[in-house]
Amino acid sequence: MLNFVLPFIVLIVVVVFIHEYGHYYFAKRYGVGVTDFSIGFGRELFGWNDKSGTRWKVCWIPLGGYVKFFGDRNVFSQADQEELLKKYSKEDQHKLFVTKPLYQRALIVAGGPLANFILALVIFTFIYMFAGKDFTPAVIDEVLKDSPAEVAGMQKNDVIIEIDNTKVESILDVSKLIAMSTSEFIDFKVSRYDQEIILKVKPNFVDSVDELGNKLKKRMVGIKLSPYNNQITHKKLGPAQALLQSFNEVYFVTTSSLKYLGSMFTGAGDSSQLGGPIRIAKISGQVAEFGIIPFVSMMAYISISLGLINLFPIPLLDGGHLMFYAFEKVLGRPLSQKTQEGFFRIGMFLLLSLMFFATFNDLKDLGLF
């Protein structure tokens, strides 16, 4: 049990701390007072006050965190704001979040997701610099008989150079790009006798297990790969190239995640792969057993997911606040209290539904349903 719990807590604490620190950084930069910086929810386990009066604390439910601003509350109209300002001195008014220009409030809110993307960039950059990145060409060693690949015309010794218009830089990219594809047909660009050929492959869906023993529905095209001339190409990158590769990885994960979520809404995607804290805890424990590099890589992917989800235009999330600020910019005033409360109810329903669905998948994955 501890093998799952401890890695999960480490992963969540780091990713959540970075997210909340993004909010904290921009708040302090623009002079907003911060009264609380909390990792976790519920009763405080321990904490301390810094010189500016911020209470840094760790609470007993490690499934998130928050930064609380001085005088924190929603202001729905100009009259509300004027009433609020009467309660504070001139000095304290400058520390209120609601008195800041719209662009500063937007940056403070967007700072959390931005910090998550930066964390992923830093992790990938260090991995590529110090552990290296694989650049082994993806050569088809065997095409299974009557498989989708054979039907599409794939042949032994074809070199896969693109999948769905994404460049294949390594043999390791192939399974990842096939798994993340959301189309009925997967476009393969292969090199054959110095000619580039585009083949459309309709994959089969089969019940399978991943390297960690977790159940999943897998897209199979029916090919076996091998390194070119049985030589592995793995090299450490310089800072600039490592950073560029990191940007490419973050961009790929972000766009692929959005496509995958979109496919679930249209019914084309496999919604059973959507998991919550239980699945994250299970996989983080499994990955930690393989070493520090796989574990911090997973931390980077979770950080991207947290940043991306928080940008969704759902009230209660950072993206919901940014949506309200967009309306405020267009209308020249905040939305009315009734309108915002209506959005918050919708947001609460969506989040609770998502949590229920993810938890149900987690329990089903554990064999409890």
Residues with a known catalytic role:
20
Q: Could you give the 3-state DSSP secondary structure of residue 204?
A: strand
Structure-token pair, residue 10: 């480490």
Q: Among residues 284, 344, 287, 278, which one has the least CA distance to residue 316?
A: 344
Between CA 339 and CA 343 the distance in angstroms is 6
Half-sphere exposure of 367 (CA within 13 A, CB side): 2
CB-based contact 111:103 (threshold 8 Å): no
Q: Measured between alpha carbons, how far is 353 from 61 in angstroms, rounded to an integer?
A: 21
For residues 65 and 19, the answer to whether their CB atoms sit within 8 Å is yes
What gap in Å lies between CA 335 and CA 179, rounded to an integer? 42
Dmax over Cα atoms in the chain, in whole Å? 79
Residues 304, 249: Cα–Cα separation, whole Å: 10
How far is residue 360's CA from residue 369's CA, in Å, rounded to a whole number?
8
Start-to-end CA distance of the chain, whole Å, equals 21
Could you tell me which of 14, 105, 31 has the C-alpha nearest to residue 65? 14
